[in-house]
Each structure stands twice: as C-alpha cells, then as structure tokens.
C-alpha cells in the first residue's frame, strides 16, 4: 500500500456518477469531505462523522459504504455513486426518488440521501424484500425525524413497481 506523509497533497482520480473527476486532498481527508468540498457533490450529507448515522452513505464500486469511514485516498480509481447520480444522469427522478416523494418519506431531508443510496444498493441485491427486511436494512440509518414508516412504504412501493415491470417484460 502506498505510504503518505502528513501535509502531502495527493491528487485523487475517481469516477463520480459516471464521470471522470479528480481533485487534490490531504492524505487524512475523509471521502465525505472530499466529495463535498473537493468535488462539490454536496448531496452527500455528514452527520455523526463516525459511522453511526448513515447520512454520508454513498456507493463505492456499487456497494453502499460510509464515506465518513473512508479516506479520500482509498477512493483512488474507484467508482463512486452519490445521490446526484441516482437518476442515472437523466432529467427526472429515479423510481426510488419518486416513491420517496409520493410517500412523504423525505421529511426534513437530512438523512435522505444516505438512506436512498443504501436502498438503491439493497434493492439491487434483494429485489423482493419483506417489510421486516427493509426495516432491518434501515436500522443502519438514524433518522432524527423519527418516522421510518413512510420510508419503509417508499422502499416497498419501489420494489413492487419493479416487480410489476419485470413481470410485464417477461410476458
């Protein structure tokens, strides 16, 4: 593994939401800070900064990960997805985002980006979850607005819509 010294300026190259990006950071900089302050991707929020709340969740090479527990230098050469890319670069909202809006699952919105990144990863791996499984997945996120009910509804509705689309395309 490459060794860094305090005060080094390191140039990081990564793919952010499908686009090649680069920026300079100190070796100790967190990925969450690099995304927000170095690359201007402020959709990723920072809450606890020690891996508890889940607000900073992004996908690293497709896997939901805490960006506050990852150093920016560890993202060198990786593919990072943030909430800004959740709609695949299109003009509209993704199905998951639309379901959050329909079900009033946004609430104050602070934890929402991180939750949606976890949900996006989860629904790829587990397209037909039970409500209990969705609640278990969401237990990795702390929402200060207290109501997880609408968030669960939005995730279940997204899974249901995707199931209906799959069945339609298999006909």
> Between residues 52 and 79, which has the closer beta carbon with respect to ligand FES?
52
CB 12 within 8 A of CB 76: yes
Q: Which stretch binds ligand FES (CB under 6 A): 2-10, 70-78, 142-150, 157-165?
A: 142-150
Q: C-beta of 107: minimal distance to ligand FES in Å? A: 3
Size of residue set near ligand FES by CB under 6 A: 21
56 makes contact with ligand FES (CB under 6 A):
yes
Helix residue ranges, H only, 29-129: 31-33, 95-102, 112-125
| 139 Cβ contact partners less than 8 Å away, ≥ 6 residues apart | none
DSSP H/E element including 151: helix 149-170
Confirm or reject binding of residue 43 to ligand FES (CB under 6 A).
no
Of all helices (H) and strands (E), which one includes residue 155? helix 149-170
Hey, what are 90's tokens? 């299109």
First to last CA, the chain: 51
Pick 89 or 147: Cβ nearer ligand FES: 147
Residue 13's H or E segment, with its range, is: strand 10-16
Residue (48 or 164) nearer to ligand FES, CB: 48
For residue 145, the minimal CB distance to ligand FES (Å) is 3
Is 110 an interacting residue with respect to ligand FES (CB under 6 A)? yes
Contact with ligand FES (CB under 6 A) among 23, 47, 85, 129 = 47
Residues in touch with ligand FES (CB under 6 A): 46-49, 51-56, 66, 68, 107-112, 143-145
């Amino acid at each position: 593994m490459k060794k860094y010294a305090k005060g080094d300026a390191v140039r990081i190259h990564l793919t952010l939401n499908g686009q090649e990006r680069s920026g300079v950071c100190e070796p100790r900089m967190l990925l969450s800070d690099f995304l927000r302050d170095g690359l201007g991707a402020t959709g990723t929020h920072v809450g606890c900064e020690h891996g508890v709340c889940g607000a900073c969740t992004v996908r690293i090479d497709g896997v939901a990960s805490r960006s506050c527990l990852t150093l920016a230098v560890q993202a060198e050469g990786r593919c990072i997805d943030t909430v800004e890319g959740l709609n695949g670069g299109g003009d509209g909202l993704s199905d998951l985002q639309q379901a959050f809006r329909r079900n009033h699952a946004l609430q104050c919105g602070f934890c929402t980006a991180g939750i949606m990144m976890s949900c996006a990863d989860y629904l790829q791996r587990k397209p037909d979850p039970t409500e209990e499984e969705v609640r278990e997945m969401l237990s990795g996120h702390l929402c200060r607005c207290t109501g997880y009910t609408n968030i669960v509804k939005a995730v279940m509705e997204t899974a249901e819509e995707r199931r209906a689309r799959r069945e339609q395309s298999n006909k």
